[in-house]
Chain A
Amino acid sequence: MIWSKEETMSREDMTALQTARLRETVNRVYEKVPYYRAKMDEIGLKPEHIKELSDLSKLPFLTKQDMRDTYPFGLFAVPKEELVRIHASSGTTGKPTVVGYTRNDLNMWTECVSRIAAAGGATSKDVAQICFGYGMFTGALGLHFGLENIGAAMVPSSTGNTEKQLMYMKDFGTTLLVATPSYALRIAEVAQQIGMDVKKEINLRIGLLGSEMLTDAMRNEMNKAWGEDVLVTSNYGMSELMGPGVSGECEYLDGMHINEDYFIPEIIDPKTGEVLPAGEKGELVITCIKKEALPLIRYRTKDITRLIYEPCKCGRTNVRMENLSGRSDDMLKIRGVNVFPTQIEEVLLAMDEIAPHYELVLTRKNHTDSMEIKVELLPDKMTDSYQELEALRNKIVHKLRIVLGLSAKVTLVSPNTLQRFEGKAKRITDLRKDGE
């Protein structure tokens, strides 16, 4: 269902609303955030230069590095006393990025998540189990409050102990699962190992998957594992912008609806920073136009997507973003060819003979890259013929070569030997060093 009237505004009204909110935000940021004011002053830009929506492209970008440089609160536009919540990214490299919320920010966040959850089919009758880690990570609490606001019964089971997750799902009658795509598949796999038929014993109706890209192939795997009737949608967000709730798919599964009254999207060429024409693929840049504590302007998400301005069959008129096709920093350059891990994933997941898990290892010898991909056989689809095993391996090599234009070494491994993930999957190991 459509949660709010802002989701069906006319383009004209939306532009007017966005323009007013953008001007207000730029004024406030210029006044309250010395770091960003300096960036504007450097190029001689004043808040009064921002009159139209198209003036957005005059504003300087912000990146994750800016957040690190101003750690912890340097980009905040309100005094600390006005904060009611602080979250942070995991910070695997260097200092974490810190985000803060005022009371209004939290209300807005809840509103945004309620919208995308409702678009994904959630109702007050659902029992919603959240298999995201509760803590500094924004994913769990964001979805939690948005779904609770809709009236769903929340099961904050967090991550880990997959057998117990299954017990809750069965005993509490979970109808809606929040998880990363890889963990949702992992849960189904564990169910199979302990002899539980999830299609019969668990009454799942909705999968709200996020925090990781959902490819079509992954969605098919989800439906294969959990049932064809389960509505599996993908949603998008990042803690710097708010957390989950920036955008999400509706039942037509044709791109994620962006909450445009709060976030203005742009697509740029990641190399030049130039704004690309509507419909082209590039890096997503988001400007927060209603946030109080951390109103990031032109934040470079590093996510690669395309914007779809045509209205959706569901009746929403807001712009949609295609499911991500990669992150600009996930992009691998292998023997000079640009490769997104999702391309590899699509090839592997489309094959019935192998499990939806893989590991990619990149090495370099004598200045030549080599790519090894380990794929898992299925426990009950075995062949005892070397000829057939070699034929399977050659088929994978061949399909990868067609899609990537590169040849890879494919290694077959036993079922359940590759690592499984509860949060974001890390399937790529790049061992290449410069100068080798």
Chain B
Amino acid sequence: MFIKQLSVFIENREGRLEEVLEALKREQVNIVSLSLADTSEYGVLRMIVSNPEGGKEALKAGGFSAMLTDVLAVKLSHRVGYLQELLGAICRAGINIEYMYALSTGTDDASIVLKASDLAKAEAVLRQDGVEIFTNTDLAKMS
């Protein structure tokens, strides 16, 4: 089961990030996790939010270029080498990971969001290993 990630294009200009957050706040969209890379001219802010559709509409209405992308949210156990094992399985299946960031779940476990070249295959591989994968409903509960 994939979850919806909200992505928005931001040019590197003072106050631009804040305008995004302002637009989401106005629509009561809560941010669960986010990732923003350090780039020179523009960035893509990727977020897991309480209401992805509502968030996308709010951003578009605010004049932003925004979209929803399917990603996998994976629960990890806090143990040395666990993430490496998971990625090893994905790697062996010939799947490329495009990006990844930490997901805050509000519990003791660690979790990650990941985007892969073949998301469905990645999910199947992980499920085979008995890995727990979050659904949109799980995320709605977190936020």
Contacts and interface: CB of A to CB of B under 8 A. Distances in A.
Contact of B98 (A382, A385, A412): A385
A102 B73 CA distance: 77
B9 interface: yes
B64 A411 contact: no
B31 interface: no
B65 A415 contact: yes
A382 B41 contact: no
A372 to B, nearest CB: 11
Interface in A241-296: none
Interface string A355-387: 000000000000000000000011111111110
Given A379-B60, A384-B44, A389-B44, A417 B11 contact: yes
A412 B10 CA distance: 9
Contact of A414 (B46, B63, B98): B63
B39 A411 contact: no
Give chain A's interface secondary structure class.
loop
Interface in B48-98: 60, 63-67, 69, 98
A377 to B, nearest CB: 4
B7 interface: yes
Contacts of B98: 385
Band of interface residues on B: 20 to 34
A412 B9 contact: yes
A383 B67 CA distance: 7
B115 to A, nearest CB: 8
Contacts, number: 55
Given A379-B63, A417-B63, A384 B41 contact: no
B52 to A, nearest CB: 13
Interface residues of A, number: 18
A103 B66 CA distance: 57
A378 B39 contact: no
A382 B11 contact: no
A20 interface: no
A416 interface: yes
Interface in A392-429: 411-417
A180 B61 CA distance: 26
B5 interface: yes
A384 B42 contact: no
A414 B42 CA distance: 10
A189 to B, nearest CB: 11
Contacts of B11: 411-414, 417
A382 B9 contact: yes
A416 B39 contact: no
A414 B41 contact: no
Contacts of A412: 9, 11, 41-42
B5 A384 contact: yes
Interface of A: 377-386, 389, 411-417
The 8 nearest A-B residue pairs measured at CB: A384-B7, A416-B63, A382-B65, A382-B67, A377-B65, A379-B60, A413-B11, A384-B69
